[in-house]
Amino acid sequence: MTRAVFRKKEGLYINFEVNGHASYADSGNDIVCAGISTAVIMSINLLDKLIPDLFEVIQDDAVGYICLKNIEYSKMSTYDISIVTKIIDNLIETLESIQANYQNHLKVKIEN
C-alpha cells in the first residue's frame, strides 16, 4: 500500500511524504502506482517552476519514497504562497480521488 502524508502548520503545508508501492498489479502494469506517481511528480515539477530552490526533495525509487520538505515561505510573495497551497491542495484532491476507487492501495492523511 502507498501512504501519502501531508503535514500543515499554521495553515501552511510544511512537507509531504509519499511512501510504498500500491501493489495493484505487477511492476510496469500498476495503474494505481502510475496515477500516484504522475500526480506527485507533476505537482513537484509545477512547484519547481514556480519557486525553484525554495524547497527540498528526497527520493528513493527503490522503496517508492518521495518527500517534499523545507518549503521556504519567508522568501515567497503572498501570491506565490497561495499558488503553492493550491498546487498541494490539488495533489491531495487527486490522490483522494484515487484512494476512493482503490482503498486497499492508497491511504491519504493530512496532519495539522
Which residues of the chain, if any, have pLDDT below 70?
none
In this structure, which long-range contacts are made by residues 72-81, counting pairs with CB atoms below 8 Å and at least 24 apart in sequence? 73/12, 76/51, 80/50, 80/51, 81/12
pLDDT the model gives residue 18? 99
Q: What is the pLDDT of residue 58?
A: 98
Q: What is the pTM of this model?
A: 0.96
Which range marks the domain in which residue 68 is found? Answer: 2-105
Residue 112 domain flag: no
Whether 60 maps to a domain, the answer reads yes
Q: What is the CATH number of the domain that holds 43?
A: 3.30.70.1490
Identify the residue whose cell numbers are 525554495.
54
Q: Is residue 110 part of a domain?
A: no
Whose cell is 519547481? That residue is: 48
Report the alpha-carbon distance of residue 52 to residue 84 in Å, rounded: 12
In a domain, 69, yes or no: yes
Residue 94 lies in a domain: yes
Total domains, the chain? 1
Residue 111 lies in a domain: no
